[in-house]
Chains A and B, each alone.
Chain A
Amino acid sequence: MATSVRFWKEGQRFLPIFPQLCVVREPNHCKMSLKKLCRQSRQSHARIADAKDGSWTAPGKLLCEPGRLPHCRGSQGNVCRPLLQLNTTTQIRSICTSSLCSSQKSSPDPRTPSDPFQLVSTEMSTLYNDIRMELATFGSVLRDMSHYYFDGQGKAFRPMVVLLMSRACNFHNGASENGLALPSQRRISMIAEMIHTASLVHDDVIDEADTRRGKACVSNLHGQRKAILTGDYILTVSSMALASIGNKDVVILLSQVIEDLVRGEFMQLGTKEDEDERFAHYLKKTFKKTASLLAHSCRAVAVLSGGCKEVQEVAYQYGKNLGIAFQLVDDMLDFMSTEELMGKPTAADLKLGLATAPVLFASEKYPELNAMIMRRFSEPGDVELAREAVTKTESLQQSRILAEQYCREAVRQIQQLAPSPEREALVTLTQKVLNRKK
């Protein structure tokens, strides 16, 4: 039973001196950085502690403020990671009572770090409304069309990750006042959903799709031309919202997403002849089309939380790995729904001529798939044969193992942040991504 560091809080107020605890390894430079830390924070509350039993012992571990982390550089310039393995109440309490908080009475955080959706539900509840406010225009057709997908029926997976990441980063940096995301970070979550939706609208025209999120595509209702212009409009409004945050680095990060989305789409047009290159091509495309948005918006909220480069990188890596895992599962579901939920449009990727992970894995055992991949499953029977090959091999399991690996990496990355209910939620989320059915 992991105890959250929120333990250190009294109600919603942080203790002024130690917003949270973390333990830093690296014996040699500990003393030095300890002194440095104390100087910088003009506090001498940093103590050398042993995380194992909570007693105050000599070198090896350092208790410091994570907000000061960038200053704790090891001899090779490597950064001390917060280890955070204070697992039991007694450990925390013993540190607590022995050092700072003798006068404070700590109580466990009442919130359980369980459901990721629930954790941010209040902030999410206004999300679609906020987006519709941004998209307010005098033209009624344009307004209806641009609001079409922001009806609250979507999964809103991206905004949720972004909001959780915002809070986790804020907490890590000790910047959070009320445990909520900053207004600018909420804007990023909104922008992420808008960019995603704009790309969906364009993708549906490119793929000639009929339905999306259980209803008719906007391009089917109003024609392709207006749908494309609506997509551009949503994208542009998101770009205006982004600029209004006023942070140049964040603008650059999210513009990169737009470029990646287009480049990913272009990558989808071609197939690599070389079979070894093909998987790398696929993963790169997956990153650009799906993971880039999560990775960059996670990094953007880390930047806005005032996090140092290392925290930003953790956020980016989490988003990237989770995004790739998400798409791998998506590609698996495209095959699995055939067997489990009959009636749904299945093997849609194959019909579009796209070879996803399961097919690529299957082609190792069935080399005859290679020719089909090259001709993009264009000949009659290709789609059926490829689907059969996928079910006959372990390619779906292989895809799952790959997705699990990405999830594990995401978890490894996110655990470098200080523990918080949000961090736990982000860990839980990786499992939800792996086990999702739709």
Chain B
Amino acid sequence: MFSTTRLPSRTALPTFLRLSDTFATETARTTTSFARSRRNMPTELLANQKPLEKVSRSPFNVAFNVHRRTASHFACRGDFNSNPSLLICNKDSGLQSRTVSMWPSGRKSDWQKALSDAEKVVGYPTSFMSLRYLLSDELSNVAMHLRKLVGTKHPILKTARGFVYDGNNSMQTRGLLVLLVSKAAGPGGEWEEEEEEEGDEEEDSNGRSMVSGIYRSQRSLAEITEMIHTAYLMHRGVVNLEEVTSADGTVDDMSFGNKMAVLSGDFLLANACTGLARLRNTKVVEIVSSAIADMMEGSFLLEQDNQGVTFLPDKDWAIKDWTNHTFLCSASLIAKSCQAAMMLAGHRLDIQKKAYNYGKHMGLAHRLHADLLPFSDTSDPNMPFALTSAPLVLHMEHAGRAAVTDKITQVSDKSMKVDYKQLRLEVLEGPAIHAAKELCYDHAQRALAAVTVFQESEAKSALENMTRAVTRF
């Protein structure tokens, strides 16, 4: 089955993968380990895997692909810290049928088109970005062990599923944005004066060579950004053993899942660390590290249960808290990676700042878009949504906190029942949806304003198109 999924032939490999000096030898090794890991992979992980050839040739499948892609982006992979409860219901009721009914196909193609255009601009499909690490012996090993967890509700299965079979379709938008911003900014000014030591500076000179308008170091950075995000998803999916219920699986299984989640997240983080160090720019190391610290700080702001459903905090949660939380959890990484990409090219501070602002506001606009999606779907009035999503926060600002807390019945210490149907109706009647859309436009506008600093180019248009796409509802 894996052969149909195609390991890309060497020539078909994205440039970025081929850039690795050691890749030629690695290919031989990883091909076998890929096959091996494939054999050992839990069937559940592969159940939904579609051969890409087929998908891309049939028009129907393209459309389907679009749905799944977008759905997985907004709901499934927990991207932008999206509402995980969506995920649960998708998982149970079948992702495809739901996503098809959830959004009329005409709407999403904006985003989809913006993405596929953007991928052409940077020169290769960016969803390949994590392939190299997926194929490592270490992660193959983890995949093999995950078999034991099939049937449990450990969140690592969701993350891994996204990592394995959605690898073709899933949105690695962070990396893509970093590449686009890099290309839009173009070749940088003077390099930081580098004390040339004889001999071992080869890597550096490679880092400065440009492939389709992007420095090699910037491509590495894009990859590192994706790795950090995936590691974060893995680690955020560690469950608290005390709260494990019999519906989740046995405590032993969940503990084993934790072990795998910790190890694979650590593995990705460690590779991100060494990758960052190899960029040989301590400022970049510092700023990207600070983005990770932001994500950790952000995840302590809200309590969540083992399935990733966030709880309403005890104190008042205003839209500025939402913005702060969203910035820390997701926009910070994009913003700081974009800025770091400018540093790597040696751009001036004002350009760095613009790139940072683009990443920040694009991240926030994107998240608002994702938060609004459950409210544009009318098919299932009982569909859950996050109580800490932007429309809800705005609703509380308007109608008072009690308007939401009234709908919650505390079942036990760590679980609750929410009358989603009634709550949704009230949110839709109030001004919150409109306000959230306004906020989304506002951030998109700021993002667009930031990229005006770049000269006209297809990379710049791709950035603009992606930004506009998140404001279409």
With the chains together, A248 CA to B266 CA distance in Å? Answer: 22
**Interface segment, one of A24-32, A95-103, A159-167, A261-269:** A261-269
* Interfacial residues of chain A within 229-247, with CB under 8 A of chain B in the complex: 229-230, 232-233, 235-237, 239-240, 242-247
What are the interface flags for A208-232 relative to B under an 8 Å C-beta threshold, 1 for contact and 0 otherwise? 1000000000000001111011101
* Chain A CB within 8 A of B280 CB: yes
Q: A139-B301, A237-B293 in contact; A228/B265 too (CB < 8 A)?
A: yes
Cβ contact of B273, chosen from A141, A258, A270, cutoff 8 A: A258
Interface contact A223-B299, CB-CB below 8 Å: no
* Chain A CB within 8 A of B278 CB: yes
* Chain A CB within 8 A of B439 CB: no
**Within the complex, what minimum Cβ distance (angstroms) separates B147 from chain A?**
14
Closest to B280 in A: A248
**Within the complex, what minimum Cβ distance (angstroms) separates B399 from chain A?**
29
With the chains together, A278 CA to B281 CA distance in Å? Answer: 39
With the chains together, A235 CA to B268 CA distance in Å? Answer: 13
Interface contact A244-B286, CB-CB below 8 Å: yes
* Interfacial residues of chain B within 220-279, with CB under 8 A of chain A in the complex: 231, 235-236, 238-243, 255, 258-259, 261-263, 265-267, 269-271, 273-274, 276-278
With a 10 A CB-CB cut-off, give which of A141, A229, A233, A247 has the most chain B CB atoms: A229
Cβ contact of A262, chosen from B238, B270, B286, cutoff 8 A: B270
Cβ contact of A228, chosen from B235, B255, B277, cutoff 8 A: B235
Could you say which residues of chain B place their CB within 8 Å of the CB of A236?
289-290, 292-293, 296
Interface contact A245-B300, CB-CB below 8 Å: no
How many chain A residues have a CB neighbour from B under 8 Å?
A: 44
Could you say which residues of chain B place their CB within 8 Å of the CB of A245?
282
**Interface segment, one of A249-257, A317-325, A421-429:** A249-257
With the chains together, A229 CA to B296 CA distance in Å? Answer: 6
Closest to A245 in B: B282
**Within the complex, what minimum Cβ distance (angstroms) separates B77 from chain A?**
18
With the chains together, A266 CA to B285 CA distance in Å? Answer: 25
* Interfacial residues of chain A within 246-301, with CB under 8 A of chain B in the complex: 246-248, 251-252, 254-256, 258-259, 261-263, 265-266, 269-270
**Within the complex, what minimum Cβ distance (angstroms) separates B261 from chain A?**
8
Cβ contact of A141, chosen from B241, B261, B277, B300, cutoff 8 A: B300
Closest to A260 in B: B270
Interface contact B274-A255, CB-CB below 8 Å: yes
With a 10 A CB-CB cut-off, give which of B241, B261, B289 has the most chain A CB atoms: B289
**Within the complex, what minimum Cβ distance (angstroms) separates A147 from chain B?**
14
* Chain A CB within 8 A of B141 CB: yes
* Chain A CB within 8 A of B377 CB: no
Interface contact A202-B262, CB-CB below 8 Å: yes
Could you say which residues of chain B place their CB within 8 Å of the CB of A223?
240-243
With a 10 A CB-CB cut-off, give which of A256, A265, A270 has the most chain B CB atoms: A265
With the chains together, A205 CA to B265 CA distance in Å? Answer: 13
With the chains together, A237 CA to B293 CA distance in Å? Answer: 7
* Chain A CB within 8 A of B54 CB: no
**Within the complex, what minimum Cβ distance (angstroms) separates B193 from chain A?**
13
With the chains together, A244 CA to B293 CA distance in Å? Answer: 15
Q: A205-B258, A228-B235, A262-B266 in contact; A252/B141 too (CB < 8 A)?
A: no
Could you say which residues of chain A place their CB within 8 Å of the CB of B300?
139, 141-142, 226, 229
Interface contact B239-A239, CB-CB below 8 Å: no
With the chains together, A270 CA to B242 CA distance in Å? Answer: 28
Interface residues on B, range: 35 or more
With the chains together, A142 CA to B294 CA distance in Å? Answer: 12
**Within the complex, what minimum Cβ distance (angstroms) separates A429 from chain B?**
29
Q: A236-B296, A262-B267 in contact; A224/B236 too (CB < 8 A)?
A: no
With a 10 A CB-CB cut-off, give which of B265, B273, B283, B286 has the most chain A CB atoms: B273
Could you say which residues of chain A place their CB within 8 Å of the CB of B438?
none
Interface contact A251-B299, CB-CB below 8 Å: no
With the chains together, A229 CA to B285 CA distance in Å? Answer: 19
Could you say which residues of chain B place their CB within 8 Å of the CB of A252?
274, 277-278, 280
**Within the complex, what minimum Cβ distance (angstroms) separates B295 from chain A?**
8
**Within the complex, what minimum Cβ distance (angstroms) separates B251 from chain A?**
10
Could you say which residues of chain A place their CB within 8 Å of the CB of B267?
262, 266
Interface contact B296-A205, CB-CB below 8 Å: no
Could you say which residues of chain A place their CB within 8 Å of the CB of B231?
232
With the chains together, A252 CA to B279 CA distance in Å? Answer: 9
What are the interface flags for A133-144 relative to B under an 8 Å C-beta threshold, 1 for contact and 0 otherwise? 000011101100
With the chains together, A233 CA to B283 CA distance in Å? Answer: 19
Interface contact A259-B282, CB-CB below 8 Å: no
* Chain B CB within 8 A of A371 CB: no
Closest to B298 in A: A139
Could you say which residues of chain A place their CB within 8 Å of the CB of B138?
262-263, 266
Interface contact B296-A142, CB-CB below 8 Å: yes
* Chain B CB within 8 A of A206 CB: yes
* Chain A CB within 8 A of B316 CB: no
**Within the complex, what minimum Cβ distance (angstroms) separates B350 from chain A?**
23
With the chains together, A139 CA to B297 CA distance in Å? Answer: 7
With the chains together, A266 CA to B263 CA distance in Å? Answer: 8
Interface contact A205-B262, CB-CB below 8 Å: yes
Interface contact A247-B274, CB-CB below 8 Å: no
Interface contact B273-A255, CB-CB below 8 Å: yes
Could you say which residues of chain A place their CB within 8 Å of the CB of B285?
239-240, 242-243, 251
With the chains together, A266 CA to B136 CA distance in Å? Answer: 12
With the chains together, A230 CA to B259 CA distance in Å? Answer: 16
Closest to A255 in B: B277
- Which 7 A-B pairs give the minimum distances between C-beta atoms? A223-B240, A243-B286, A255-B277, A243-B285, A233-B296, A239-B289, A262-B270
Instruction: Spell out B's residues near A (CB within 8 Å).
Output: 138, 141, 231, 235-236, 238-243, 255, 258-259, 261-263, 265-267, 269-271, 273-274, 276-278, 280-283, 285-286, 289-290, 292-293, 296-297, 299-301
User: What are 17 inter-chain pairs, A to B, with CB distance below 8 A?
Assistant: A141-B300, A205-B259, A206-B262, A223-B241, A224-B258, A228-B238, A228-B262, A228-B265, A229-B236, A232-B231, A239-B289, A240-B290, A242-B285, A248-B277, A251-B285, A252-B274, A262-B263
- Other A-B pairs, 7, CB within 8 Å; known A236-B289, A262-B263: A142-B297, A205-B238, A232-B235, A236-B292, A243-B289, A255-B277, A262-B270
